[in-house]
Amino acid sequence: MLAVRRAKRMAGAAAAARRGSHTLIPPPSPPPPRNSIATIPLVGGEGGGGSRRSLFSISSADHSNIYKQVRTTETPLSMEDLIQFGKDANQATLLASAQWLQKDLPIRMGHRVQELQSLPVTMFKTQPVIDLCNLYEESFVRVTEHEVPKTREVEERFSAMLTDIKEKHRMVQANIADGFKQMVRNGVPQRFMEHQEIQEKLTKFYTGRIGIRLLIDQHLMLRYDLFSRQGKGDAPREGGGAGGK
C-alpha cells in the first residue's frame, strides 16, 4: 500500500509539471522521479554557507504581490515602438515613461524570480543563485514602493534608483557561473549541469533580463536626450542618465 500511495503522489507531481504549474514559494512536494536532475544530492550541504539574507525575508504582502505579477503576461517589446516613443521626447514623455516602467518592471522582475526558483534544486539551492533571487526580489520591492513619478523631482529620484538597480544587476552572469562552480563543489556530475532543462530555463531567464535592461536604458537615454537638447547635459547623471554603466 505504501508503494501505491507513493506512486500516486509521484504521478500527481509529474502531471503538475506537464501543466507547467509553479508557485513562487512551493509547499513540500513528493520526491521527483529518479531520472530527474532534482534528485542529485547536495554533497557539500544545501547552500554552501549562510545567506546574506533569508530567501523569503521580504514580507508576505510582497510575496503575494510578486505572485500576482507573475500571473500577468509580460508586454512584448518592439524596437519600432521604443524608437517611436523616444522621438522628440519632452518632459511629459519622460514622466509617462517612468510611470509605465513602475508598472511594467515589477511584472518582468516577478517572472525572473519565478524562473530562478523553477531551476532544479541542485542549482537553485546554491548560494550565488539564492543571492541573485534575493536581488530581484529586492529590486521588485524598490520599484513598487517608490513614489509614483508624477513630477520632475520624483522622476529624477526614480531614474537614480533605476541606475542603481542596473548597476547592482551587472554581475548576474557571474552569479550564475558561481552557481555552477558551487554545484561542482557539491559533487553534482557534469552531465547534470549540462542538462537541457537547466539550459532552457537559463536561456529564458537571460532573455527576460535583457528586456529589463533594455527598458531601463531606453528611459535613461530619454533623460539624456531631453537634457542635452535643453543644454543641461549634467542633469541626467544626477538622476541616472548616460553616466550609468
Per-residue pLDDT, 213: 96
Per-residue pLDDT, 126: 95
Per-residue CA distances from 169 to 61, 81, 161, 166 (Å): 24, 25, 12, 5
What H or E segment, with its residue span, contains residue 58?
none
Other Cβ atoms within 10 Å of 14 Cβ, number = 14
Per-residue pLDDT, 239: 40
Per-residue pLDDT, 145: 95
- The stretches in the chain having pLDDT less than 50 are 1-56, 233-245
Per-residue pLDDT, 232: 59
pTM (global) more than 0.85: no
